A and B are shown apart, each in its own frame.
Chain A
Amino acid sequence: GENVEQHPSTLSVQEGDSAVIKCTYSDSASNYFPWYKQELGKRPQLIIDIRSNVGEKKDQRIAVTLNKTAKHFSLHITETQPEDSAVYFCAAYITGNQFYFGTGTSLTVIP
């Protein structure tokens, strides 16, 4: 099956700096890559996603890039704010199969 690896496991940045979280996947059949944000004690919520026919997608301060050849995708958060502090999960999906999640990145934004 698919294997998704996520790095780093923890990340601390100063408020206003950028944060980058990287994921790799193993199965070239994966065609959909969502990112989730989980605040403490809450459920994971979708923040951005990208499909395999797109190389980059942006939504205000967050962006996701996908390199199908290298089988990796990344989440970029610019101008970080304290409310960005959370655990972030990447995932890879194969149509008709299941979602495979990374192990999460705990992001702390220091005011």
Chain B
Amino acid sequence: NAGVTQTPKFQVLKTGQSMTLQCAQDMNHNSMYWYRQDPGMGLRLIYYSASEGTTDKGEVPNGYNVSRLNKREFSLRLESAAPSQTSVYFCASSDTGVDFGPGTRLTVT
């Protein structure tokens, strides 16, 4: 049981480049989330998916898109990266409490 897995762990992008962060969970959870964490800002919700086939915007969705590929996988895409998107990104899933992935540290130069 791997829990929530994310790839990559680290990434450096130049402004304007695109990339997709991958996330998968093997706990058969219906709900999945993408958060970003910045110093002093806590965990801010980007997008969430309450069930397969549905996605909803969170607190800070601008500049991001998501795909709930199936029940296990929920990806986050940055179409044109900006320095303001430098952050640590956590994928998570939930049944009762939230289980977090290990995080992706993204730097946009």
Contacts and interface: CB of A to CB of B under 8 A. Distances in A.
Given A89-B42, A98-B48, A98-B58, A44 B100 contact: yes
A54 interface: no
Contacts of A49: 96-97
B74 interface: no
Contact of A99 (B40, B41, B56, B98): B98
- B41, B96, B101, B102, most chain A CB atoms within 10 A: B96
Interface residues of B, number: 21
A102 B42 CA distance: 7
Interface residues of A, number: 18
Contacts of A77: none
Q: What is the predominant secondary structure among interface residues of chain B facing chain A?
A: strand
A98 B49 CA distance: 9
Contacts of A46: 97-99
Given A98-B33, A99-B33, A99-B94, A43 B100 contact: yes
A104 B94 CA distance: 20
Interface string B40-63: 111101001010000010100000
A34 B97 contact: yes
Interface in A10-60: 32, 34, 36, 42-46, 49
Interface string A88-111: 010100001011011110000000
Contacts of A45: 100
Interface in B78-97: 90, 94, 96-97
Given A43-B103, A45-B100, A98 B45 contact: yes
Interface string B1-45: 000000000000000000000000000000101000000111101
Nearest to B94: A99
